[in-house]
Amino acid sequence: MTEEKTSSSWRIPLFIGLLIGALVLTFAFQNSNEVHVKFLIWEGKAILSFTYFIVFAVSILTAFLFGLANWWRRGKLKRKIGSLEEEIVEFKEQILDIKEENEEDNDE
């Protein structure tokens, strides 16, 4: 990679980050009114944009946890597949040994 591309590669993510930050601040300022929030037995007042951010953060956390569980399950399945493939190799070796023994018996 050339030095020119490397030195400017940080500009695009920075610009996107600043743009998203500006949009988030605009959203927060435009939705700063208080709302009544009730959840199970808890209730109170909160700023609307803060409520949205909390819901968004909980949704991201939930998606991450489901992804983590899926990743763990996939790893477990890969280990199982690996052990089954090892068994297949062992069985093939046993079959070859049996064939060799049968050929030796037939030669005698």
Average pLDDT over residues 94-106: 83
Give the per-residue pLDDT at 89. 92
Within 8 A by CB and 6+ apart from 60, the residues are none
User: CA-to-CA distance for 32 and 49, rounded, in angstroms?
Assistant: 6
Domain boundaries, the chain: 31-107
> What confidence tens digit (pLDDT) does each residue in 11-68 have?
888 888 888 888 888 887 787 788 888 878 888 888 888 888 888 888 888 888 888 8
Give the per-residue pLDDT at 5. 56
Give the per-residue pLDDT at 4. 54
pLDDT surpasses 80 at 75: yes
Whole-angstrom CA distances from 91 to 24, 57, 86, 98 are 61, 51, 9, 10
15: which 2 tokens? 């610009």
Within 8 A by CB and 6+ apart from 44, the residues are 36, 37
Q: Do 36 and 51 meet the contact criterion of CB atoms below 8 Å apart?
A: no
Closest CA to 35 of 24, 22, 26, 48: 48
Give the per-residue pLDDT at 49. 80
